[in-house]
Every structure is written in C-alpha cells, then in structure tokens.
Amino acid sequence: MSTNNTHVVVDVDVATARQMVSEGAVLLDIREPHEWEAGHSPDAVFLPLAWISDARASIPAGTRVVVTCHSGNRSRVGTEVLLAHGYEAFNLAGGMQAWVDAGETLVDMHGNQGAVV
C-alpha cells in the first residue's frame, strides 16, 4: 500500500451538516462575495475559496468545519485544502442549493430572506 498527500473528502448531507453545526462545527461558506450577499445561512462564516489558506486566522485549530458553496464542487476543493491544513473538514453535498431545497434558512446581507445565485 502506498501513501501520498491526498486526503479523502467526506460528503455530508444537509441534515448531518445541520447536526454538526448545532454541535459546534463551523459552517464555512466559500462562495464569492456576490453569492454570499444574495443569500447565506445565518449560521455561516464567510471566507471565499481564494482566501481558504487564511482559514487559520479565523477558524481555530481543532474546529470541525462543514464547507459549502453553490453546488458542492468548489467546496470539495476547499475541504481538501482544510484537510491538508489539519482541520476535520467535510463537504456539504449539493451546497447551498441543497440547503435551500431541504428547507433551511437563507438571509441576504440585510437580514432579509435570501436566495442562492
């Protein structure tokens, strides 16, 4: 068996993500600013994918992290980066679109009902 520097990304569904967040995990939204402003979970922390390497400045080491984007593709990349930095990180399967489809709340930058863009 050979080893390499790749990390296995584990996908979680919305119900699991919600449970993890209620238990103290960080819901990390890595979408672009205009996507965040249009609609995000009120429980989420915003850190665009381009800045993901700076996560240690805003998320304490040892914190469980559920990473989300629009549909789950960019968040897979972000999850890989966090895993490489030693975080216990998970990818939200289906991203914020799955979040909304499951009936979870989104707010815009003014606190009103948000939308996934």
List the catalytic residues. 69
Alpha-carbon span 64 to 67, nearest angstrom: 10
95 and 75 Cβ atoms separated by less than 8 Å: yes
Q: Which residues contact 98 (CB under 8 A, 6 or more apart)?
A: 13, 14, 71, 72, 92
Q: Are 30 and 48 in contact (CB under 8 A)?
A: yes
Q: E strands along the chain, which residues?
A: 11-12, 26-29, 44-46, 64-68, 88-92
